[in-house]
Amino acid sequence: MMQEHGSPSLEEKRKIRPLYNALQGYLKEAPNSYDANEELRDTTQWEYINNTIDRLNTTTNKNYDDFKISLNQYGQVRLSSFKGKLGGLINYLHAEYFNDEPAPLSGNPSMVINQSQNQSASIILLLEMQKKIDEKLASAQDEKEKSFLKKLSDQLPHINNGIQLVKEVLNLCHQMGLDPHQISKLFT
């Protein structure tokens, strides 16, 4: 998929960007502390990252497992290790795929903060949507609704913002002959 001179194709960037943005959102949402030895107690914080790395591995046919968050010898994850690995992966992906763009962890602070806030809001929206889809799939009885939810779940990694999400929901409703009002009840 790489173009001449080793630069990534637009298609590669398109596939990787949602994961790249998700990782930046995770870093932004990481707890702030002056104690580098502080432990993270919420396992979901690093499970999301490790799941994202699994998806990155699948999407790129490469292995980024060295950046996965793992427990230390005391069965803990230190905040400094968490942030270090996550920041390292973001910088690595930037150098590998997005080096023609401003570095996400440097540059104009207000631009970085605003971009991070927008990306984080989109990531949170998509994570909440995926959680809701998973919940509804577990209890859905109607086969059309199940099929809709599965197709929407498959599209989430390719969605970058709320507007795209709404468009995808409406497109899937249209394609599958479903009433959008009926589908909206799935998410209440």
Per-residue pLDDT tens over the stretch 94-143: 889 988 888 777 644 443 444 444 555 566 677 778 888 888 888 888 88
Q: What is the pLDDT of residues 6-46, one digit of tens each?
A: 678 888 888 999 899 888 888 887 777 666 677 877 777 78
Per this entry, what is the length of the chain? 188
The reported pLDDT for the residue numbered 120 is: 55
Task: Tell which wins on pLDDT, 40 or 171.
Answer: 171
Distance CA 179, CA 82 (A): 44
pTM of the model: 0.54
CA–CA distance, 140 with 134 (Å, rounded to integer): 10
Strands of the chain (E only): list them.
Answer: none
Predicted pLDDT at 116: 46
Q: What percent of the chain has pLDDT above 90?
A: 12
CA distance 113 to 12: 26
Domain ranges (residues) in the chain: 4-106, 121-186
Question: What is the phi/psi pair of residue 79, to 5°?
Answer: -55, -40
Query: Does the pLDDT value for residue 176 go beyond 80?
Result: yes
pLDDT at position 32, please?
74
pLDDT value of position 55: 93
How high is the pLDDT of residue 2? 42
Of 39, 78, 55, 20, whose CA–CA distance to 130 is shortest?
A: 55
Q: What pLDDT was estimated at residue 4?
A: 43
